[in-house]
C-alpha cells in the first residue's frame, strides 16, 4: 500500500517568478513546509497576507516523528480550519501510567475536568498532520487566497537588507532570485537559514541515544501514555509506548551513550529488543526506525531584522513532554497576527519585538521543563539515580512523592507573566485567566468560547455594559457579550465568585487585560499597548 509520505503532494512546477527580468518581491516568504511553516502560511493567508512557502522537498515527512499534539495545538488548528480533520484521524488520550521495573506505580489524568472542546492530547503521525495542513492550504488557494507551496525550491543564499531579504533559490531547472519583504525561517533543527546568517544556538547537548520504532501490530493496550523506568526488557534504561492510528504503535527505547547507531537501526537488532518488550508471540511489522539524541538549546534572539525564526529552527528540546511541534505551533500563533498588523500598517515594526520576548520566554520554559525531565529519566550520577529510584518507590503508595516523578512534563501553553503586551489585571478574578495566559475554553452560546475568539481583538463582556467595539488608533476590539450567570463553567473560569468581568483578548486568544467594569480610557490604553502602539 502506498503511504502518504511516498507521494509528492507539491511537485516541482516552473513559476513565472523564475522568468522575471528583475527579482520579484513577495510580501512574506516562508522557508520550510513542515508543520510550523504550513501553519504560519495558513494563519497569514486567513488574514489576507500573501505568502509563499519554499521547500527543498515535495512531500510530507517520512516516519511518525512528532506524534503527540496537545490541546492547545488543537485549539490553534481549529482557528486555522483543520482541527476536526486531525482529531477525527488521531487517537485521543488524556491518561497515562508510569511503571518502575514491573510495578504500575502511578496513573495520571491530564484533563480531569469537563467543559473543554478538545482533549488533552491526540496521537497522530506527523505525515497525517502535515497532509491536513496541506489540504487546508489547497482550500484557501481555491477560495482565492494568495498562498502557495513551491516544492523542490531550495534556498541556497540569503542576503538581509533593511527593507527586504534577498533569496537565491535552486530548482531542478536552475536558480532564480526572489525578494521577500519578510522571511520566516521554519527549516528545522539544522536550519540552513540560521547557518547562512551565521547564527547559532546556546544551551545543552545530551549524549544519550534513543531508538524510535513505529510498529504495525494488533494489540489491546489501552489508549494511554505508558512510560517505564528500569523495565526488565530494557534494564537500567527507560521505555515509552504510544498508540497511533491505523494500528501503528510508537515505541521509544533508551539505549545509552556508547552505541553503534547504524548497527542499532538494523532489523536484526531492533526486532529482538521489541520482542523482549512485547512478547515473543506478538506479531508486528516495522514501519520506521530511527536513532536520536537531543538538545535543549535556542537562538539568543528569534528576530533578526526582517528574518523571523520559528519552531525547531529557533529552539530545540528533548522529545519528553511533546514540546517540539507543539511549541512551534505556539510560535506561529504568536507571530502571525503581529506580522499581519505590521504589514497592513496598523502596528509599528516594534510590535515584532514582543514576539521575540514572548517566545524566547516560552522556549526557556520548555527548555527548563525538558531538561528537568531528561535529568530525571537519565540520571548523570549514582546519587541522582538513588534519589530518582527512591522517589519512584515512594510514589506507589504516597501521594506526596508523585509531583516529583518526571517522565516528561507534558506540553501546556505558556503564560506570558510580565509580558510586554500585558495590561491591567484584577486580582479578584481567577488566576488561570490572568493577563498573559491563554483564554480557557468553556461552553458558550451553544458552542465553545475559543471558537468565537481569534479573528481579531475581542472584548469579552460578562455582565458588564460595554460598546460593540472600542478602538485605539487603527486597531479595534469587538465585543462578545455572554451571560455567565447561566453557565457555571464559564463563571468559574472567568468570574471566580465575582458578579461581572471584562476581558481584552488578543488575536492569539491570550488575555491582554481584565477589569470588573468598563472604562473606555483604560480599555483603549490596554488595546494600544497590546497592539504595540504604546
pLDDT, one tens digit per residue, over 224-238 is 999 999 999 999 999
> Which residue's entry shows cell 538513588?
386
pLDDT, one tens digit per residue, over 400-453 is 988 888 776 677 889 999 999 999 999 999 999 999 999 999 999 999 999 999
**Residue 38: strand, helix, or coil:** helix
Topology match between the domains 4-91+116-202+296-366 and 431-530: no
CATH of 431-530, one of 1.10.240.10, 3.40.30.120, 1.10.10.10, 3.30.1300.30: 3.40.30.120
Residue 315 CB-density burial (10 A; 0-12 exposed, 13-18 middle, 19+ buried): buried
What pLDDT is stored for residue 517 in this prediction? Answer: 96
CA distances from residue 521 to 465, 472, 525 in whole angstroms, order as listed: 15, 10, 6
Distance of alpha carbon 320 from the chain centroid: 14
Higher-confidence position of 2 and 134: 134
Question: For residue 1, is pLDDT > 60?
Answer: no
Q: Give the global pTM.
A: 0.95
Level-2 CATH architecture, domain 4-91+116-202+296-366: 3-Layer(bba) Sandwich (3.50)
221, three cell numbers: 493496550
Spell 35-50 as b/e; 16+ CB within 10 A means b. bbbbbbbbbbbbbebb
**Residue 96: strand, helix, or coil:** strand
Residue 326 CB-density burial (10 A; 0-12 exposed, 13-18 middle, 19+ buried): buried
In the chain, what's the furthest Cα-to-Cα distance? 74
Spell 486-502 as b/e; 16+ CB within 10 A means b. ebebbbbbbbeebebbb
Average pLDDT over residues 198-210: 84
Average pLDDT over residues 98-126: 93
438, three cell numbers: 491563554
What pLDDT is stored for residue 321 in this prediction? Answer: 64
**Residue 460: strand, helix, or coil:** strand
What pLDDT is stored for residue 16 in this prediction? Answer: 97
By the 8 A CB rule, do 77 and 94 touch? no
3-state SS string for 320-378:
CCCCHHHHHHHHHHHHHHHHHHHHCCCCCHHHHHHHHHHHHHHHHHHHHHHHHHHHHHC
Percent of the chain with pLDDT over 90: 78
How far apart (Å, rounded) are the C-alpha atoms in residues 408 and 415?
A: 19
First to last CA, the chain: 57
pLDDT, one tens digit per residue, over 267-326 is 999 999 999 999 998 999 999 899 988 788 999 999 999 999 999 999 988 776 677 789
By the 8 A CB rule, do 233 and 277 touch? yes
Question: Beta partners for 242?
Answer: 250
Question: Beta partners for 448?
Answer: 443
pLDDT, one tens digit per residue, over 496-534 is 999 999 999 999 999 999 999 999 999 999 999 999 998
Angle between helices 352-377 and 324-343 (to 10 degrees): 180
CA quadruple 363, 527, 430, 70: dihedral sign: negative
What pLDDT is stored for residue 208 in this prediction? Answer: 81
**Residue 161: strand, helix, or coil:** coil
Average pLDDT over residues 252-264: 89
Level-2 CATH architecture, domain 204-294: 2-Layer Sandwich (3.30)
How far apart (Å, rounded) are the C-alpha atoms in residues 520 and 427?
A: 20
CB atoms within 10 A of CB 156: 12
> Would you list the domain boundaries of the chain?
4-91+116-202+296-366, 204-294, 431-530
470, three cell numbers: 472600542
Instruction: Give the confidence band of 486 by pLDDT, cuts at 50, 70, 90.
Output: confident
Average pLDDT over residues 79-106: 95
Average pLDDT of the chain? 93
What pLDDT is stored for residue 227 in this prediction? Answer: 93
Residue among 46, 7, 50, 10 nearest 28 (CA): 50
> Which residue's entry shows cell 506524534?
67
291, three cell numbers: 536513532
What pLDDT is stored for residue 256 in this prediction? Answer: 85
By the 8 A CB rule, do 94 and 120 touch? yes
How far apart (Å, rounded) are the C-alpha atoms in residues 530 and 534?
A: 8
How far apart (Å, rounded) are the C-alpha atoms in residues 193 and 13?
A: 23
By the 8 A CB rule, do 17 and 113 touch? no
Amino acid at each position: 500500500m502506498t503511504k502518504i509520505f511516498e507521494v509528492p503532494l507539491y511537485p516541482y512546477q516552473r513559476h513565472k517568478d523564475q522568468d522575471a527580468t528583475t527579482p520579484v518581491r513577495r510580501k512574506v516568504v516562508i522557508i520550510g513546509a513542515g508543520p510550523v511553516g504550513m501553519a504560519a502560511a495558513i494563519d497569514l493567508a486567513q488574514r489576507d497576507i500573501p505568502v509563499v512557502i519554499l521547500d527543498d522537498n515535495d512531500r510530507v515527512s517520512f516516519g511518525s516523528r512528532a506524534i503527540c499534539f496537545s490541546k492547545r495545538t488543537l485549539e490553534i488548528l481549529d482557528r486555522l480550519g483543520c482541527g476536526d480533520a486531525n482529531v477525527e484521524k488521531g487517537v485521543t488520550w488524556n491518561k497515562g501510567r508510569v511503571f518502575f521495573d514491573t510495578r504500575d506505580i502511578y496513573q495520571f489524568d491530564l484533563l480531569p475536568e469537563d467543559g473543554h472542546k478538545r482533549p488533552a492530547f491526540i496521537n497522530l503521525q506527523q505525515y497525517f498532520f502535515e497532509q491536513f495542513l496541506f489540504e487546508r492550504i489547497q482550500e484557501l488557494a481555491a477560495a482565492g487566497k494568495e498562498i502557495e507551496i513551491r516544492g523542490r525550491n531550495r534556498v541556497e543564499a540569503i542576503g538581509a537588507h533593511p527593507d527586504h531579504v534577498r533569496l537565491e533559490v535552486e530548482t531542478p531547472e536552475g536558480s532564480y532570485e526572489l525578494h521577500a519583504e519578510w522571511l520566516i525561517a521554519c527549516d528545522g533543527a539544522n536550519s540552513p537559514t540560521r547557518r547562512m546568517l551565521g547564527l547559532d544556538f546556546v544551551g545543552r547537548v545530551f549524549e544519550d541515544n534513543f531508538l524510535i520504532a513505529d510498529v504495525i501490530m494488533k494489540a489491546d493496550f489501552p489508549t494511554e501514555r505508558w512510560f517505564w523506568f528500569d523495565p526488565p526488557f530494557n534494564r537500567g534504561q527507560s521505555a515509552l509506548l504510544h498508540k497511533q492510528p491505523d494500528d501503528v504503535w510508537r515505541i521509544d527505547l533508551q539505549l545509552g551513550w556508547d552505541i553503534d547507531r547504524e548497527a542499532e537501526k538494523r532489523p536484526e537488532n531492533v526486532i529482538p529488543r521489541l520482542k523482549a518488550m512485547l512478547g515473543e508471540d506478538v506479531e508486528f511489522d516495522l514501519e520506521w526506525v530511527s536513532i536520536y539524541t537531543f538538545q535543549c538549546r535556542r537562538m539568543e534572539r528569534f528576530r533578526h531584522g526582517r528574518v523571523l525564526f520559528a519552531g525547531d529552527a529557533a529552539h530545540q528540546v528533548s522529545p519528553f513532554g511533546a514540546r517540539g511541534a507543539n511549541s512551534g505551533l505556539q510560535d506561529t500563533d504568536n507571530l502571525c497576527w503581529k506580522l499581519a498588523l505590521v504589514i497592513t500598517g496598523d502596528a509599528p515594526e516594534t510590535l515584532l519585538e514582543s514576539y521575540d520576548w514572548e517566545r524566547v520566554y516560552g522556549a526557556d520554559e520548555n527548555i527548563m521543563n525538558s531538561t528537568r525531565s531528561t535529568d530525571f529519566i537519565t540520571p548523570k550520577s549514582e546519587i541522582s539515580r538513588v534519589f530518582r529510584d527512591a522517589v519512584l518507590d515512594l510514589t506507589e503508595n504516597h501521594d506526596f512523592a508523585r509531583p516529583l516523578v518526571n517522565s516528561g512534563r507534558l506540553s501546556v501553553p505558556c503564560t506570558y507573566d510580565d509580558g510586554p503586551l500585558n495590561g491591567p489585571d484584577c486580582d479578584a478574578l481567577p488566576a488561570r485567566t490572568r493577563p498573559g495566559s491563554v483564554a480557557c475554553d468553556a461552553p458558550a452560546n451553544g458552542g465553545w468560547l475559543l471558537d468565537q475568539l481569534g479573528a481579531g481583538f475581542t472584548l469579552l463582556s460578562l455582565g458588564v455594559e460595554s460598546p460593540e467595539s472600542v478602538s485605539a488608533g487603527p486597531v479595534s476590539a469587538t465585543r462578545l457579550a455572554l451571560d455567565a450567570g447561566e453557565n457555571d463553567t464559564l463563571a468559574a473560569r472567568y468570574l471566580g465568585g465575582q458578579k461581572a468581568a471584562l476581558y481584552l483578548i488578543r488575536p492569539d486568544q491570550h488575555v491582554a487585560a481584565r477589569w470588573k467594569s468598563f472604562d473606555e480610557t483604560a480599555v483603549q490604553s490596554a488595546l494600544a499597548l497590546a497592539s504595540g502602539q504604546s
